[in-house]
Structure 1
Amino acid sequence: MSKLHITSLSKHFDHQPVLQNLSLQVEEGEFVSILGPSGSGKTTLFHLIGGMMEPEEGSIVLDGEKINGKRGSISYMPQDHALLPWRTVLGNVILGQEIHGRKDEARAKEWIVRAGLSGYEGAYPDELSGGMKQRVAFIRALMSPQSLLCLDEPFSSLDEFTRLDMQKWLMDIWEDDKRSVLFITHNIDEALFLSDRIIVLSGKPSNVQKEFRLPYPRPRDEKMILSKEFLQHKKEIFRELTKHVQHD
């Protein structure tokens, strides 16, 4: 399991600040979601954590090691499933391991079965539904050796019913794995259902404006979505997000 500590992070594009003095942390086995207005730099933050770009200021420390500009430290799942069309389900699942010089097909097949994809090991992405593709992409992220998962709106392209099924499936899998997760979403219900803690970003230049620590026990039950406590948290987060949108 991983501990992530980001301190006083700033990033500019063409001299325009996108992130400014941003600090946050993810503790071992914690599921943290990030909400914020469009254009608030959420994906930029993931690119910085993943080493695809470097900040002008600040530090990104994972398990005590500074990883500014260092690639390969996290397992990253983008908005698009990014499956390779010429590789089978099994081939896509073990891709992350192959990149790191490892290959455990037996374990990969176990995860495929757990994902409800038994019999699809030899199928190609264009033979799968949207939800099935997202499951393959998530298993690939789990199979990668890094202990921090960064998930960038992985369910945004799915319809509402498939999305809820994927959320419940993700929770079932994560309860067993308990890897540290940093999760980007625009969906307040999704963040509340999945997370231990929610971080709300301001508009640009973005920093952490508010955190919500959630009291809901695990494993989560979808009935919680209709509870008064859930709706109250939703109202508070909505007010926070609307306030920042109005300020932009």
Structure 2
Amino acid sequence: MGHLEIKRLSKSFDGKEVLKHLSLQVEEGEFLTILGPSGSGKSTLFHLIGGLIEPDQGEIILDSNNITGQRGLISYMPQQPALLPWRTVIDNAMLGEELHGKADKEKAVEMIQKAGLAGYEDSLPDALSGGMKQRVAFIRALLSPQSLICLDEPFSALDDFTRLEMHQWLLAIWAEYKRTILFVTHNIDEALFLSDRIIVLSANPSEIANEYKIPFKRPRNKELLLTEEFLEWKRKLNKSIFQRQDGNETDH
């Protein structure tokens, strides 16, 4: 479960077209990243998938069901951890499950311990660092029953060292629990390090400019970031994003 299909999605705000006939698929168990400059409609796409807003045209299909305009059918992790300050770590982690009438405390404790947060189960969020809060937020997303997890630039507020640590932790946890992930970022290194496949969006309005299948084997470690192959892919993606969108230059 977790197969997502977006069919010719369009959305405008105040007469300005943000998304134009956008179509893509996310396969079950895939880590797909949407990469694009600011203003390319990445967050708008997530709001549409989550049912917070409705498209002007198009459909969103999850596991063969049309979920266009429906809420509560995906697991969503925003840029900020959004932990409830009055709930403990364990209670925040189980929130998604509780909202759907079922919570597995034993599994939540196990995942918290695997996240390196043993001993913090009964702590409030104020006692945690930024990276620790993000781990709790991701555990909450993993424990939620929905088949698709949408991650909206969840590491953008972290320093570089914490961000890299979170990348490695995220991949380790994802490999064990293997959920379908749709990830949004404007960070090229992050997209390359994490993804199975990357879709590059143009802007004004957003369309798919390029799509890349990432060849790096898993598991991945930080040494990958310094390889010539990684740097070559980084150059390719950088060119894809910042080249003039005039149709004179394409990248396959």
Q: Which TM-score tier does this pair reach, normalised by the shorter chain?
A: over 0.9
Alignment RMSD: 1.3
Partner of 2:150: helix, strand, or coil?
A: strand
In structure 2, C-alpha distance between the alignment counterparts of 1:246 and 1:110, rounded to whole Å: 51
Partner of 1:119: 119
In structure 1, C-alpha distance between the alignment counterparts of 2:225 and 2:103, rounded to whole Å: 40
Partner of 1:143: 143
Partner of 1:236: helix, strand, or coil?
A: helix
Partner of 1:14: 14
Partner of 2:236: 236
| Structure 1 letter corresponding to 2:32 | V
List aligned pairs for 1:1-248, cutoff 5 A.
1-243=1-243
Deviations 1:52-97, CA, capped at 9 Å, x for gaps: 1110101110010111001111100000100000111011001001
Give the direction of change, closer, same or farther, for the CA distance of 1:206–1:89 in structure 2 (3 Å limit): same
Give the direction of change, closer, same or farther, for the CA distance of 1:246–1:137 in structure 2 (3 Å limit): farther
Question: How many angstroms does 1:223 deviate by?
Answer: 1.3
Any gaps of 5 or more consecutive residues in structure 2? 248-252
| Structure 2 letter corresponding to 1:66 | N
| Structure 1 letter corresponding to 2:34 | I
In structure 1, C-alpha distance between the alignment counterparts of 2:95 and 2:245, rounded to whole Å: 39
Give the direction of change, closer, same or farther, for the CA distance of 1:127–1:246 in structure 2 (3 Å limit): farther
Give the direction of change, closer, same or farther, for the CA distance of 1:118–1:246 in structure 2 (3 Å limit): farther
Question: How many angstroms does 1:221 deviate by?
Answer: 2.3
In structure 1, C-alpha distance between the alignment counterparts of 2:224 and 2:103, rounded to whole Å: 40
Question: How many angstroms does 1:37 deviate by?
Answer: 1.1
Of all paired residues, the percent bearing the same amino acid is 61
Question: How many angstroms does 1:108 deviate by?
Answer: 0.7
Partner of 1:90: helix, strand, or coil?
A: helix
Tell me if the contact between 1:17 and 1:204 (Cα under 8 Å) persists in the aligned partners. yes
Question: How many angstroms does 1:244 deviate by?
Answer: 5.1
In structure 2, C-alpha distance between the alignment counterparts of 1:35 and 1:244, rounded to whole Å: 16
In structure 2, C-alpha distance between the alignment counterparts of 1:242 and 1:44, rounded to whole Å: 21
Tell me if the contact between 1:37 and 1:244 (Cα under 8 Å) persists in the aligned partners. no
Tell me if the contact between 1:33 and 1:195 (Cα under 8 Å) persists in the aligned partners. yes
| Structure 1 letter corresponding to 2:129 | S
TM-score, normalised by the number of residues in structure 1: 0.97
TM-score, normalised by the number of residues in structure 2: 0.96
In structure 2, C-alpha distance between the alignment counterparts of 1:211 and 1:14, rounded to whole Å: 29
| Structure 1 letter corresponding to 2:95 | L
| Structure 2 letter corresponding to 1:14 | D
Question: How many angstroms does 1:246 deviate by?
Answer: 9.2
Tell me if the contact between 1:37 and 1:245 (Cα under 8 Å) persists in the aligned partners. no
In structure 2, C-alpha distance between the alignment counterparts of 1:244 and 1:50, rounded to whole Å: 32
In structure 2, C-alpha distance between the alignment counterparts of 1:246 and 1:107, rounded to whole Å: 51
Partner of 1:2: helix, strand, or coil?
A: coil
Deviations 1:136-194, CA, capped at 9 Å, x for gaps: 00000001001111000111100000000000000000011111100011110110000
Tell me if the contact between 1:4 and 1:61 (Cα under 8 Å) persists in the aligned partners. yes
In structure 2, C-alpha distance between the alignment counterparts of 1:14 and 1:134, rounded to whole Å: 34
| Structure 2 letter corresponding to 1:36 | G
| Structure 2 letter corresponding to 1:139 | I
Q: Runs of 4+ in structure 1 displaced over 4 angstroms?
A: 244-247
Partner of 2:243: helix, strand, or coil?
A: helix
Give the direction of change, closer, same or farther, for the CA distance of 1:245–1:156 in structure 2 (3 Å limit): farther
Any gaps of 5 or more consecutive residues in structure 1? none
| Structure 2 letter corresponding to 1:218 | R
